[in-house]
Amino acid sequence: MLLALLMCYAGFTALCLSTDRHHGELLHSKLTSKRRLGLRLGGWLLLIAAIWPAVLAAGWSQGLVEWCAVLMLSALLLVLLLPYRPRLALILAGLSLLASPVAALALS
């Protein structure tokens, strides 16, 4: 479940950064249309790909339920961090992307 959590958090952060407001606040740069498209595509792909480790760990019936729980937990974490610790939210997203390959190796 750790891999699914890391992927979901990174995916939601990418979707968050694809908005003008959060991109400007967190990265202090102007959002281009190519970057917006890349962030949206990357975010949705990470969220969809997070189904794989959840199903692999617990089967289709329980894995999808756990994936939904991980989606809610990662979104809640991001929503709680953004107003109070926005830089920490970005740091955690970067760390989750770096830790995902390690979690994938531990899964297999």
pLDDT of residue 76: 97
pLDDT of residue 13: 96
User: Which domain covers residue 58, as residue numbers?
Assistant: 2-101
Q: What is the pLDDT of residue 75?
A: 96
Residue 106, domain member (yes or no): no
Give the three-state DSSP class for 88. helix
Helix axes 20-27, 86-107, angle to 10 degrees: 90
Q: What pTM value is reported for the model? A: 0.93
**10 found inside a domain:** yes
Q: What is the pLDDT of residues 2-21, one digit of tens each?
A: 999 999 999 999 999 999 99
Question: pLDDT value at position 106?
Answer: 87
Give the type of residue at 65.
Answer: V
Q: Is residue 108 part of a domain?
A: no
Alpha-carbon distance 90 to 36, whole Å?
17
DSSP-assigned letters across all residues of 68-85: HHHHHHHHHHHHHHHHH-
Q: Is residue 107 part of a domain?
A: no
pLDDT tens per residue, range 20-30: 999 988 898 99
Does residue 66 lie in a domain region?
yes
3-state helix, strand, coil split of the chain in percent (to 5) is: 90, 0, 10
The total number of structural domains that make up the chain: 1
The residue to which tokens 């994936």 are assigned: 67
